[in-house]
Amino acid sequence: MKKLLLFAIILFYACNLFAFEKKVTLSYGEYPPYYGKNLKNNGPMTEIIVKAYDQVGYKVKLIYINVWKRRFVYTKIGKYDGMFTMWHKKEREEFFLFSDTLPKNKIVFYKRKETDFNKDNLEQYKIGIIRGFARPSGYENLKYEEVARAEQNIAKLIFKRIDLAIIDQNVGQNLLKTEFKKNEKQIIYIHPPIEEINQYLVISKKAENYEKKMEDFNKGYRMLGKEKVNEIMKNHGL
């Protein structure tokens, strides 16, 4: 009888341990200097998210998919628990839970140095933007050309195929210093930013225990603290 009771207790704790195993699968891609396959710790945003989950005992499995729209769709249907990063749009709430706010994107216009810029007549310009990205508020109805990656827009600026490109300030500077060093002085950004937009981790509403996975992330993120987040960003040069 004692052996049976002991077995039942062990089985109970084993089942509970299995039931509360904390794992989350997140997709990410190339968005240097924020995150990317070849960056230290996969970039500061990845490091922040992994460490936030680590605060609450989660193991994070990272899935690398370079095309943003593809990982958006895969996460939306629940193939992966979540993805980073995403901008908040009301219509996306149908499919995703949004985390507490992560460090912001400063969205700017990039242009060739010699190109005249008239902010009151933006309709005259051919503007490059990344496919699948939300248009900044107030700039939804301009003349856009879509590309898959930010570096394609820098190249199109250099070869005068577009007039302006909407890119995060840090992303553009990183590209000019790494991929387009010979053309670095030809391409500039316009200050002030068009918009400062919070980045978010999202969890798919198709994911198992999606509310718990988001609740635990936010708890871990708060435990990590603003000072540590800023330290991580600074260690990555941001």
Helix (H) or strand (E) holding 198: strand 195-204
Are the C-beta atoms of 190 and 109 separated by less than 8 Å? yes
DSSP helix/strand/coil, 232:
helix
Residues 97, 82 share a domain: yes
Q: What is the mean pLDDT of residues 12-38?
A: 79
Residues 99, 8 share a domain: yes
- C-alpha 113/C-alpha 115 separation (Å) is 6
Q: Quick one: pLDDT at residue 86?
A: 93
Q: Quick one: pLDDT at residue 71?
A: 95
Residues 93, 33 share a domain: yes
pLDDT at 37 over 60: yes
As given in the structure block, the two tokens for residue 53 are 């989950």
Residues 64, 47 share a domain: yes
Q: What is the mean pLDDT of residues 65-86?
A: 94
Q: Quick one: pLDDT at residue 84?
A: 97
Residues 67, 127 share a domain: no
Return the residue matching tokens 């981790």: 201
Residues 99, 217 share a domain: yes
Q: What is the mean pLDDT of residues 25-49?
A: 96
Residues 185, 227 share a domain: no
Are the C-beta atoms of 81 and 26 separated by less than 8 Å? yes
Residues 185, 132 share a domain: yes
Are the C-beta atoms of 212 and 205 separated by less than 8 Å? no
Are the C-beta atoms of 100 and 222 separated by less than 8 Å? yes
Residues 140, 76 share a domain: no
Residues 230, 205 share a domain: yes
Residues 32, 8 share a domain: yes
Q: What is the CATH number of the domain that holds 62?
A: 3.40.190.10
As given in the structure block, the two tokens for residue 11 are 């089985």
Give tens-digit pLDDT for 81-133. Answer: 999 999 998 999 999 999 999 999 999 999 999 999 999 999 999 999 988 77
- C-alpha 154/C-alpha 111 separation (Å) is 9
- C-alpha 158/C-alpha 168 separation (Å) is 17
* Domain limits for position 190: 106-196
23 φ, ψ (degrees, to nearest 5): -135, 145
Give tens-digit pLDDT for 126-154. Answer: 999 988 777 888 888 899 999 988 999 99
**How many domains is the chain built from?**
2
Residues 217, 180 share a domain: no
Q: Give the mean pLDDT of the chain.
A: 91
